[in-house]
Amino acid sequence: MSTPNPRTRAQQSKRTVSIIGTGSYLPERVLTNAELTKLVETSDEWIVSRTGIKERRVCAEGEATSDLAANAAQAALENAGIGADEVDLIIVATVTPDMFFPSTACFVQQKIGAKNAACFDVSAACAGFLYAIEIAQQFITSHTYDTVLVIGADKLTSIVDWTDRNTCVLFGDGAGAAVLRHRGGGHGVISTFMASDGGLSDILYIPGGGSRFPAVDEKTGERLNCIKMAGKETYKHAVTSMLDAANKALADANLDPEDLACIIPHQANLRIIEAIADRMKVPMERFMINLDRYGNTSAGAVAIALDEANRTGRMKVGDYVLLVVFGGGLTWAASVIQW
Ligand code: ACO
């Protein structure tokens, strides 16, 4: 066991931050692998054997990221047993905001009636939810805010190239939310490790639609506004980065993998999770997995899985839980929480 680093010691001297409620929302429409075979040359067998994904959810006509996020937020507030007017800050992690501005968090504020909250979005792709959890924790431990609503939400089907079989089979829409607050009793977020490598931005990215290549330009035919991914490179970095983040967060918390009751990883690919389980020497039963039903919902993925783990009793009070994520940027992070 390593000695906790100064950052962790600093956290220990401040008030602890607990997740006091979780929620999630998935759109009703199910898109199966069989349906995708009508769009691109693929098969259910290829998708399941390479990824573990059987189906994913797709937003209804007119449904946007803030609609998913607001539904997940309502569920989290109910689960926490608090009113929307008690929320001091709303952070939405997303790469598919309703608009560039206002922030999706502002739309959520309006939809749920959290009139006392400050609002902003965080962009860290699939790692966004844990980045936002860490930001929330900083605001609470510093006594700036008491109650923070963190949401991971993405409508990835709005940025999928439906002619690209390398990517279109992987993604879906969904949102998850958590309410954070100091609860007393010492339980809560124990350690978080975050990292980024902008040098690898070109293995997983959306080139168009921003200030570099504005949405309406002559390059639209190249589908620059859709996800581009070097799958094998992404896979390799996902495994090594998530393992590294997990090990660092565990070391900060002074815990070993066998101390964990539940591991909630980013839901991109079952084989990535199996590789991590193998290297951490933790049985697969301890990993929360729902990617077979939802695919990769980016910032929503780990948040939805956290809510499912909470609602199905996977975590008991006092259990150690590891959340670990990876996404475009590249970005990656891990948090150890005592439930
Ligand atoms: N159906 C059938 N064949 C396909 C499909 C498909 N949907 N997609 C690719 N293929 C083909 C390829 O064209 C290739 O054919 P070729 O050999 O003739 O060129 C063949 O299948 C094998 O492709 P590989 O790239 O070797 O397949 P691999 O086993 O690496 O699996 C996958 C591909 C699933 C994309 C994998 O690399 C992966 O999961 N990577 C990580 C993805 C990830 O985590 N992304 C999300 C990050 S989070 C975020 O920020 C969005």
User: What is the model's pLDDT at position 11?
Assistant: 52
Asked whether residue 46 carries a pLDDT value surpassing 70, the answer given is: yes
Quote the DSSP letter at residue 171.
Answer: B
d(CA 189, CA 203): 31
Same domain, residue pair 204 and 126: no
Residue at 4 is within a domain: no
Same domain, residue pair 90 and 128: yes
pLDDT tens by residue, 270-298:
999 999 999 999 999 999 999 999 999 99
Is the distance from the beta carbon of residue 328 to the nearest atom of ligand 1 less than 6 Å? yes
Residue at 6 is within a domain: no
101: tokens are 């501005």
Same domain, residue pair 45 and 75: yes
User: What is the model's pLDDT at position 219?
Assistant: 57
Same domain, residue pair 179 and 207: no
Same domain, residue pair 76 and 217: no
Is the distance from the beta carbon of residue 166 to the nearest atom of ligand 1 less than 6 Å? yes
Asked whether residue 117 carries a pLDDT value surpassing 80, the answer given is: yes
pLDDT tens by residue, 236-254:
999 999 999 999 999 999 9
User: What is the model's pLDDT at position 6?
Assistant: 46
Catalytic annotation on 296?
Answer: yes
Residue nearest to atom 9 of ligand 1 (CA): 166
Residue nearest to atom 7 of ligand 1 (CA): 165
Phi, psi of 169 (to 5 degrees): -80, -10
Asked whether residue 99 carries a pLDDT value surpassing 90, the answer given is: yes
Same domain, residue pair 230 and 274: yes
Catalytic annotation on 266?
Answer: yes
Assign residue 230 the CATH number of its domain: 3.40.47.10
Ligand 1 pocket mutation pick from 96, 158, 235 by most atoms within 8 angstroms of CB: 235
Q: How far is the CA of 232 from the centre of ligand 1 (A)?
A: 7
Same domain, residue pair 33 and 142: yes
Question: Which atom belonging to ligand 1 lies closest to the Cα atom of 227?
Answer: 51
Is the distance from the beta carbon of residue 327 to the nearest atom of ligand 1 less than 6 Å? yes
Give Cα 73 distance to the centre of its chain. 14
Task: Specify the pTM.
Answer: 0.93
CB-based burial of residue 2 (10 Å sphere; 0-12 exposed, 13-18 middle, 19+ buried)?
Answer: exposed
Candidate list 119, 126, 168, 226, residue with the active-site label: 126
Same domain, residue pair 283 and 246: yes
pLDDT tens by residue, 11-22:
555 788 999 999
Residue at 25 is within a domain: yes
Neighbouring residues of 91: CB distance < 8 A, sequence distance ≥ 6: 105, 119, 120, 121, 122, 132, 135, 136, 148, 149, 150, 151
Same domain, residue pair 171 and 228: no
Is the distance from the beta carbon of residue 235 to the nearest atom of ligand 1 less than 6 Å? yes
Residue nearest to atom 46 of ligand 1 (CA): 268
User: What is the model's pLDDT at position 186?
Assistant: 67
Residue at 145 is within a domain: yes
Which residue, 151, 186, 221, sits at the end of a domain?
Answer: 186
The confidence band for 229, taking pLDDT boundaries of 50, 70 and 90, is: very high
Residue at 32 is within a domain: yes
Rg (CA), the chain: 19
Residues 52-63 have a mean pLDDT of 98
Residue at 3 is within a domain: no
Q: Is the dihedral of CA 59, 65, 67, 69 positive or negative?
A: positive
Domain count across the chain:
2
Q: How far is the CA of 301 from the centre of ligand 1 (A)?
A: 19
User: What is the model's pLDDT at position 15?
Assistant: 82
Asked whether residue 216 carries a pLDDT value surpassing 80, the answer given is: no
The confidence band for 1, taking pLDDT boundaries of 50, 70 and 90, is: very low
Which residue, 186, 207, 233, sits at the end of a domain?
Answer: 186
Neighbouring residues of 103: CB distance < 8 A, sequence distance ≥ 6: 92, 97, 119, 120, 121
pLDDT tens by residue, 138-180:
999 999 999 999 999 999 999 999 999 999 999 999 999 999 9
Is the distance from the beta carbon of residue 138 to the nearest atom of ligand 1 less than 6 Å? no
Same domain, residue pair 153 and 59: yes
pLDDT tens by residue, 293-317:
999 999 999 999 999 999 999 999 9
Which residue, 158, 186, 214, sits at the end of a domain?
Answer: 186
Same domain, residue pair 225 and 124: no
User: What is the model's pLDDT at position 294?
Assistant: 98
Residue nearest to atom 24 of ligand 1 (CA): 232
User: What is the model's pLDDT at position 224?
Assistant: 86
Domain span including residue 288: 189-338
Residue at 19 is within a domain: yes
Residues 29-58 have a mean pLDDT of 98
The confidence band for 95, taking pLDDT boundaries of 50, 70 and 90, is: very high
User: What is the model's pLDDT at position 160?
Assistant: 96
Residue at 46 is within a domain: yes
Same domain, residue pair 198 and 294: yes
